[in-house]
Copies of this chain bind each other. A is one copy, B any other.
């Protein structure tokens, strides 16, 4: 996974990251089938480790998903996280902020939704929208964006210092792939409800978005909360990359079965 990790404090060019990349897997049915089998194994492992995460309730995992429209944020959640016990998994979709949320700092609504100890939290979009859509549309100045980068780093440091592991994934699709996915929504009557005219406006701003993503990831990829650029043109490879990184992060937590409830003499205890 190291190849997809954004280097800390180095300028970044998304052009040098191929959204069509499939690593060691062939771009054919065979490659797809073996990647899927591998992903299924990872998903089963996540489900097991999640039970331990929940049992211990000492650590948390926060997964942040960002990407252009149709990049597969919803699909990644459905594919990778279905199978996890929903009792220990909380998905939060951040939409346009409400007036109450706008009346607070941009991290206020986000902080309320971070995963509790024992939980996996998934952010479908996140506080990073406040340095993306807002910037691309010129709603905030570059100075404010620069300050927000610092505020985000400090906020994420607070979370990690208190037991939360943070993984941030940018789902990287090409402009051409987005075209095909949008066309699919137009063509297929079963998918037309997903079509949103606003997506076309954002699409026109593609280059500006890529610039904003580059700046943002270069500025906020840290040792404690790294960004990963996930090649996402092929859904099966996208799922594999995310699932395998989640497994690694959970294995790094070295979760064990919790110790017996203290203060109980289990050898003499009788249930009547």
Contacts and interface: CB of A to CB of B under 8 A. Distances in A.
Interface residues of A, number: 43
A77 B86 contact: yes
Contact of A124 (B87, B182, B189, B200): B87
B83 A87 contact: no
Given A90-B90, A195-B264, A264-B195, A186 B269 contact: yes
A55 interface: yes
Among A87, A179, A272: residue with most chain B CB under 10 A: A87
B82 A197 contact: no
Interface string A71-108: 00010011001111111011101000000000000000
Nearest to A120: B86
Contact of A183 (B84, B264, B271): B271
A190 interface: yes
Contacts of A78: 85, 87
Given A55-B193, A78-B87, A195-B266, 10 more contacts: A82-B82, A82-B84, A86-B91, A182-B271, A186-B271, A192-B266, A193-B257, A193-B258, A193-B260, A195-B264
User: Which 6 pairs show the lowest CB-CB distances between chains A and B?
Assistant: A192-B260, A193-B258, A87-B91, A86-B89, A86-B86, A78-B85
Interface of A: 47, 55, 74, 77-78, 81-87, 89-91, 93, 122, 124, 179, 182-183, 186, 189-190, 192-197, 200, 203, 257-261, 263-264, 266, 269, 271-272
12 contacts: A47-B82, A55-B193, A77-B86, A82-B86, A183-B271, A186-B269, A190-B257, A192-B260, A192-B264, A192-B266, A193-B259, A195-B264
